[in-house]
Amino acid sequence: MSTLQVGAAEFPPLASLFLTHFDDIKGQSVIFYASIPNLPASTIEHTTLPSGLHALDSDLVLFTHHDLPGAGEFRSRLSDEGARGRRMGTLGVVLAGPSTVADLFTLRQPLSNLFDQLESLESSPFAPSSSSAPSSAVSLLAKVWHECRADAPGAEDRVGRVTGKEEIRGVRTLVDGREGGKGTGSANGRGTIQAEHPIAYMPSLLGILGPSIVPIYRAALSGQRIILYSTPPLLPLAAFAWCIWAMSLAPPSTPDAEPNKWLGNVGLMDLSDLKKRKGGWVATTSDAIYRSHHDAYDVFVDLSSISLSSPITSSSITATPTTPIIHSTYHQPKNQSTIITYAFSDLPLYRSLLLLTSSPPTVHAGVSRTGGWWLLAFEILERAWKLCVGVCEFAVGRGRVEETDEGHLRLDEGEEDARLLDDVDVDVEDGEPDLIDSQPRANNDDDDGEAEEDKEDEAIRRGRLILRQLHHNTYHLHHQLRAILASRSDISQTASLKEAEIKQLIGGSVGRWSWAFAGGGSSGGGGSGAEVAFWKDVSRVWGLTSEFESEAGDA
């Protein structure tokens, strides 16, 4: 994205620039707010000064303002008056298009640099100001706004808006390892993205959620409303929300799909609007009261038991023995909340994700690799696993003695570990891109590119592999669903799923995955009502069937 430089700060085209302040007596207030037309301040002071931040010296608050992405650098300093009390405020921006949510995570340093300039002024950044006698801080911010506003004279080429579908294409470009486009937050060069990109938090999210990442993934697929709760810092929480949003992307062959929204941080002032919002979304909050408002969410992920302490980096968050509590009101009677967990059938997909996170640096998403001895060992273990599963299933009367071209017993589609590392034949019509190319580089011209790729941040590499695997699993879910709909002869292909069709989906190979949406965390992943609800919801979200029709079995 193009940037302008003002002093020590660099910013993309801005839709708004603001400074908010928290006073121990007066509460939240707006010191400075400037924006392009039709973008009022609304409750920006409450959005950017959420609960719990007073316990930190600094944090990055990420949010949406009038459906545009925004970020604010929060700082808390001892008061100059006898070191009593604290001086707290947030300096932030709202981005204009073509900037996207992923670009927010690169704004901490520019915002920090500008905040440093404000704090170096003789008077406090939060000193009283008026139109006739503006403070030094307000004067400086007015200058920054004049030069960085998206509709500044001569800046017409910088003004635009990325649609949801364009941002989704940017994520696919990032995951596939092609050159960065809109919505990737990428720098120049093949597959190279900045270290601050939220995908770097994907391995940490996997380590924190463990196998429970699978029911969260399926909740996102089916268009559920997901809230992540924790006490500050809020930056990792916002990155986790982005990762979950990125999991929810429908296959490329579903142009009528309803994309989920990333909302960023929400507070008490957003509660009423959140209950009215239609469609699926992922949000974060530091207000525990959201847990008791069961009609405001479908899934509430309580991460307050996980340490997200400073320094706030993706590599500082590791796996923890503490299990996050996941509440769900999904198709529960009277929006009652119940605790959900993973099922035994979730473990194959989870195991494949773990395998990818432990892969060597030679394995990348969407680019060539040689792999060496590690991949040779994996292939041997994989074939032994397939043989054992095939023999065991045949022994109990469930297996099929079918040999593939490689000569081993065939495992049902979707059940093998780490499908991302295999070469898979795909239907071009479905739009599923090739997985990892196992062939060596064709010429030496690409060697420099491979060397450059090896410099990629390790967390980003692993994050791309995890997200690529989940997208590939989504492709197979979609393929199974579309095959069922295509076989219809007596009803419209857009009609709601019938009981017999759902039984086919549940009983098929894809049905052996988890259905951990029902309450109680039972080993079976919940009853048939949850399975029926998932397939109906996901087919509606992907635009394959008509509106959801509630049935008695969905309760």
**Chain segment 165-178, per-residue pLDDT in tens:** 667 877 888 887 65
Please provide the DSSP assignment of 365-385 as one string.
SSS----HHHHHHHHHHHHHH
Would 555 be classed as within a structural domain? no
* pLDDT the model gives residue 385: 59
Do 82 and 227 reside in the same domain of the chain? no
Residue 134: pLDDT band with limits 50, 70, 90: confident
Tokens of 7: 């002093």
* pLDDT the model gives residue 550: 43
Average pLDDT, the chain: 76
* pLDDT the model gives residue 341: 87
Q: How many domains does one find in the chain?
A: 2
What is the chain's percent helix, strand, coil content, to nearest 5? Answer: 40, 15, 45
Do 141 and 171 reside in the same domain of the chain? no
Do 257 and 343 reside in the same domain of the chain? yes
Q: Which position has the higher pLDDT, 203 or 6?
A: 203
Do 169 and 108 reside in the same domain of the chain? no
Would 94 be classed as within a structural domain? yes
Q: Is residue 369 scored above 60 in pLDDT?
A: no
Q: Are 190 and 178 in contact (CB under 8 A)?
A: yes
Q: How far apart are alpha carbons 313 and 200 in whole angstroms? A: 9
List Cβ neighbours of 298 (8 Å cut-off, separation of 6 or more): 219, 224, 225, 226, 328, 329, 330
Q: Is residue 358 scored above 90 in pLDDT?
A: no
Would 286 be classed as within a structural domain? yes
Do 18 and 64 reside in the same domain of the chain? yes
Q: Is residue 506 scored above 50 in pLDDT?
A: yes
Do 32 and 169 reside in the same domain of the chain? no
Q: 253-312: per-residue pLDDT in tens?
A: 888 888 899 999 999 999 999 999 999 999 999 999 999 999 999 999 999 988 886 444
325 torsion bin: left (phi>0), alpha (psi -120 to 50), beta (else): beta
* pLDDT the model gives residue 343: 79
Tokens 């309803």 belong to residue: 258
Would 522 be classed as within a structural domain? no
Residue 422: pLDDT band with limits 50, 70, 90: very low
pLDDT-above-90 percentage for the chain = 35
DSSP run (H or E) holding 89: strand 86-95
Do 109 and 230 reside in the same domain of the chain? no
Q: 449-484: per-residue pLDDT in tens?
A: 444 444 678 889 899 999 999 999 999 888 888 888
First vs last C-alpha separation in the chain: 47
Would 520 be classed as within a structural domain? no
* pLDDT the model gives residue 3: 56
Residue 315: pLDDT band with limits 50, 70, 90: low
DSSP state of 409: B
Total Cβ atoms within 10 A of residue 246: 26
Angle at 533 between CA 530 and CA 536, to 5 degrees: 150
Do 81 and 208 reside in the same domain of the chain? no
Would 298 be classed as within a structural domain? yes
* pLDDT the model gives residue 257: 86
Instruction: Say whether 15 sits in a helix, a strand or coil.
Output: strand
Q: Which position has the higher pLDDT, 205 or 176?
A: 205
Domain of residue 68: give its range.
14-148
Q: Is residue 144 scored above 90 in pLDDT?
A: yes
Would 201 be classed as within a structural domain? yes
Please provide the DSSP assignment of 159-181 as one string.
-B---HHHHHHHHHHHHHT-B--
Tokens 């006073």 belong to residue: 23
Would 514 be classed as within a structural domain? no
Do 57 and 170 reside in the same domain of the chain? no
| Dihedral sign, Cα of residue 504, residue 510, residue 512, residue 518 | negative
Q: At residue 69, what is the residue type? A: P
Q: Are 131 and 222 in contact (CB under 8 A)?
A: no
Q: Is residue 430 scored above 60 in pLDDT?
A: no
* pLDDT the model gives residue 321: 60
Do 214 and 316 reside in the same domain of the chain? yes
Q: Are 171 and 242 in contact (CB under 8 A)?
A: no
Do 134 and 172 reside in the same domain of the chain? no
Do 212 and 70 reside in the same domain of the chain? no
